[in-house]
């Protein structure tokens, strides 16, 4: 007979793992964080601040869910997401990081990279899309590029989402028969899943070379998706010295009177009301 794991005074299991957040609690916390993200958005726009956020991690670690949670209540004109396709033949001849530089934020923008120039230290290296020499050169050069980015006035935040082997397997398996998620199981995703320890070694070397004082890596445990989203958004907000922008209280104006306007029968092609 199975037994429930005992909880300690903090509501944690005896293994140290926290209980999953209830949906209502999660939504309440997320609502408060969304309000702060809107304050951040207004402050960034008013002050011309430049923010760049990088999300990296294994397949199935939850990067997309974190980004979606960040974007849910903010303007896509301020918060821009970059998820680049494979490089073109021309881009393959350029300095590797070159095609990312034009995408960095201008004043009043927050740019989020759903994977970034760190492809060179991860998937490119593990899957053999570049040579070991190219990876070594990238790892030695990128800290200085990031220092130049930071010194230009960009707030640069780098997040790595950590997921356990067991949880990654559960998430990958859940995609197999779900028509909403099957697109997330490309041959590349499957090969990446098989190469767990190759990715572990690549990640460790990446951290050692690029976890700098001016652009440190922040690691978030993401086996619990809801807690990971809340923790990352809260941390992101704590790393930016934003303030609430004073605003006048909004009052809706009176609508004009119809006068001689008559509603036209313009809707010749209506959407069928199937639901």
Q: For residue 83, give the 3-state DSSP assignment.
A: coil
Report whether 222 contacts 62 (CB < 8 A): yes
Give the least confident one: 14-23, 24-33, 127-136.
Answer: 14-23
CA distances from 76 to 70, 79, 110, 181, 274 (A): 11, 5, 9, 24, 31
Q: Residue 2: its pLDDT value, please?
A: 35
> Does the pLDDT of residue 5 top 50, yes or no?
no
pLDDT in tens, 247-259: 899 999 999 999 9
Mean per-residue pLDDT for 234-246? 97
Q: Residue 268: its pLDDT value, please?
A: 76
Mean per-residue pLDDT for 131-148? 97
User: Distance between CA atoms of 175 and 181, rounded to whole angstroms?
Assistant: 5
Burial of 217 (0-12, 13-18, 19+ CB in 10 A): middle
> Does the pLDDT of residue 134 top 60, yes or no?
yes
Estimate the crossing angle of helix 63-71 against helix 225-238, to 10 degrees.
60
Q: Residue 124: its pLDDT value, please?
A: 93
> Does the pLDDT of residue 266 top 90, yes or no?
no
> Does the pLDDT of residue 12 top 60, yes or no?
no
Mean per-residue pLDDT for 205-212? 98
Q: Residue 16: its pLDDT value, please?
A: 59
Residue appearing with tokens 């859940």: 174
What are the structural domains, with CATH classification, of the chain?
A: 23-238 (3.40.50.300)
Mean per-residue pLDDT for 10-35? 81
Mean per-residue pLDDT for 153-168? 97
Q: What is the mean pLDDT of the chain?
A: 91
Beta strand spans in 130-225 (E): 154-162, 217-221
pLDDT in tens, 226-238: 999 999 999 999 9
User: Distance between CA atoms of 44 and 120, rounded to whole angstroms?
Assistant: 30
Single out the residue of 234, 254, 230, 245 nearest to residue 22, CA to CA: 230
DSSP secondary-structure letter at 186? -
Q: Residue 183: its pLDDT value, please?
A: 87
Q: Residue 271: its pLDDT value, please?
A: 85
User: Distance between CA atoms of 206 and 203, rounded to whole angstroms?
Assistant: 5
């Amino acid at each position: 007979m199975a037994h429930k794991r005992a909880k300690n005074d903090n509501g944690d299991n005896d293994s140290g793992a926290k209980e999953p957040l209830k949906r209502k609690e999660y939504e309440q916390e997320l609502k408060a964080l969304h309000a702060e993200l809107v304050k951040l958005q207004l402050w960034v726009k008013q002050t011309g601040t430049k923010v760049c956020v990088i999300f990296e991690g294994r397949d199935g670690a939850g990067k997309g869910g974190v980004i979606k949670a960040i974007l849910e209540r903010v303007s896509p004109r301020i918060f821009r997401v970059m998820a680049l396709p494979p490089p073109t033949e021309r881009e393959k001849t350029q300095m590797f990081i070159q095609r990312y530089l034009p995408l960095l934020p201008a004043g009043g923008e927050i740019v989020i990279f759903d994977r970034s120039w760190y492809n060179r230290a991860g998937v490119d290296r593990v899957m053999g899309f570049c040579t070991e020499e190219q990876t070594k050169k990238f790892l030695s050069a990128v800290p200085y590029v990031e220092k130049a980015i930071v010194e230009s006035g960009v707030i640069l935040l780098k997040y790595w989402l950590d997921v356990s082997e067991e949880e990654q397997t559960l998430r990958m398996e859940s995609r197999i028969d779900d028509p909403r998620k099957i697109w997330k199981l490309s041959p590349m995703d499957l090969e990446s899943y098989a190469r767990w320890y190759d990715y572990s070694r690549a990640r460790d070397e990446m951290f050692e070379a690029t976890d700098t004082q001016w652009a440190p890596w922040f690691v978030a445990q993401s086996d619990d998706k809801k807690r990971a989203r809340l923790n990352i958004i809260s941390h992101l907000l704590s790393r930016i010295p934003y303030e609430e922008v004073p605003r006048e209280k909004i009052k809706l104006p009176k609508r004009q009177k119809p006068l001689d306007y008559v509603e036209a029968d313009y809707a010749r092609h209506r959407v069928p009301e199937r639901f």
